[in-house]
Amino acid sequence: MKVLIAEDDPVFCRLIETKLVKWGYETVVTHNGIEAWEVLKREDAPPLAILDWMMPDMDGAEVCGKARESSQIRPAYIILLTAKDRSEDITKGLQAGADDYITKPFDDEEFQARIKVGVRVVRLQRLLSDRVTELEASLRRVKQLQGLLPICSYCKNIRNDQNYWQKVESYISEHTEVQFTHGICPECFQRIVEPELERLKKETPLSDL
């Protein structure tokens, strides 16, 4: 997975990059908030970002705020890096939209564990987003019948949107995924078919049957 690093301190930046590469992540490195924001706006923006709180031009919390306000960019999982003795930064950062924070200097195991949490959340979000897209596509395919349907009380034809009286079979076939297969119910057989057969028997000479 691709991870964005935004850190102005060259030592920290190299350290984070080295660790992430060692743990199997692909990295995109930036050195200030403006550069980080430009990367986050890209179509192929990394889904996970580690932003230092204190950076020149635009700090980590500002980048967070901009990322959360914008509806045009894909939401990234953001981890803020902050100094251990600046607990007020943590609250501000989380309020600005960060998902998590890591204090500097960080403990390797904790750092890796927090990144793994981020990866899990990103994967879950992707899964949900894919499911929603699938559902939306399915809904577009399913035709639904809703509301009032004017039907003739005698012939059972249906009045369509063009004010045309249409056979019930063709109307339902057009508006649903249903296909009709024709048969005769016992009641109609008795009421219609049998009398018709009787009539035919009577009318037709025996030699023709």
Question: Binding to other proteins (CB under 8 A): which residues in 48-77?
Answer: 54
Select the residue interacting with other proteins from 38, 57, 69, 108 (CB under 8 A): 108
Q: Which stretch binds other proteins (CB under 8 A): 14-22, 127-135, 162-170, 175-183?
A: 14-22
Tokens read off for 155: 């012939």
The answer to whether 68 and 96 are in contact (CB under 8 A) is: yes
Nearer to other proteins, 14 or 123 (CB): 14
CB 28 within 8 Å of CB 69: no
Closest CA to 50 of 109, 39, 128, 42: 39
State the DSSP code for 151.
Answer: B
Told to check if 10 binds other proteins by CB under 8 A, we report yes
CB of 22 to other proteins, least distance (A): 9
Contact status: 105 vs other proteins (CB under 8 A): yes
Nearer to other proteins, 12 or 25 (CB): 12
- List the interface residues with other proteins, window 116-155 (CB under 8 A): none
Question: Residue 12 interacts with other proteins (CB under 8 A)?
Answer: yes
Q: Does 11 bind other proteins (CB under 8 A)?
A: yes
| Pairing of β 100-104 and β 26-30 | unpaired
CB 54, min distance to other proteins, A = 8
H/E segment holding residue 19: helix 10-22
Among 31, 66, 92, 104, binds other proteins (CB under 8 A): 104
Is-contact 161 148, C-beta < 8 A?
no
Short-list 143, 100, 153, CA closest to 122: 100
Our finding on whether 106 is near other proteins (CB under 8 A) is: yes
**Beta carbon nearer to other proteins, 25 or 106:** 106
Q: How far apart are CA 175 and CA 153, in angstroms?
A: 21
DSSP string, 177-195: S--------HHHIIIIIHH
Q: Is 174 in the site for other proteins (CB under 8 A)?
A: no
Q: Which residues bind other proteins (CB under 8 A)?
A: 9-12, 14-15, 18-19, 54, 83, 104-106, 108
